[in-house]
Amino acid sequence: MKPIEILLVDDCPDHVQLVCWSFRNYRDQVRMHCVGDGEQALRLLRPHRMRLRGAKPDLVLLDLGLPGIQGHEVLEQIRANPELRELPVVVFTASSNDDDIDLAYDLRVDSYLLKPAGSAEVEELPETILNLWQSQLRSRGAEPRRSLNA
């Protein structure tokens, strides 16, 4: 089966490395694509770019504190684009600020997930993210493509 395509938008190389490491047991099931800022994410998500690369991602993990175009603006532009607005987006950030959370949900984020604080949370990260993704598919009336096993 086709792997799940995840676009990780995060400017911190340590966070990117940690997320990729946490998915080490899912390499056959998940393909991780990483960009370091909002402009790169939006450029990658342009419809003509997606057609050239084969497909749009199945899920976006979006940090809020990005250089240049901030995460909230990336989310706003995704939701404003008719070809992208149904794309599941999970804010994946260190910010527990109520204003950040409220604005993300006002912009129709699918889920808001705080970055892991300890090793146990890192180990659980893939299951958490994939369960959120499957939940979003079900809420949109689609069936998840498969069950995922580490």
- Tell me if 32 is assigned to some domain: yes
Give the range of the structural domain holding residue 10, as residue numbers without chain letter. Answer: 4-139
59-62 vs 30-35, strand pairing mode: unpaired
pLDDT value at position 147?
Answer: 46
- Tell me if 91 is assigned to some domain: yes
- Tell me if 146 is assigned to some domain: no
Mean pLDDT by 10 residues, the chain (150 residues): 90 94 92 94 79 73 96 97 92 96 97 90 91 81 54
Predicted model pTM? 0.88
- Tell me if 87 is assigned to some domain: yes
Chain position carrying tokens 């393909």: 31
- Tell me if 122 is assigned to some domain: yes
pLDDT value at position 63?
Answer: 98
- Tell me if 148 is assigned to some domain: no
- Tell me if 47 is assigned to some domain: yes
Q: How far is CA 63 from CA 13, 88, 95, 135, in A?
A: 12, 14, 9, 20
- Tell me if 144 is assigned to some domain: no
pLDDT value at position 142?
Answer: 64
Q: Round to whole Å and give the CA distance between 34 and 60.
A: 10
pLDDT value at position 146?
Answer: 47
For residue 96, what is the domain's CATH number?
Answer: 3.40.50.2300
Q: Round to whole Å and give the CA distance between 135 and 17.
A: 25
* Total structural domains within the chain: 1
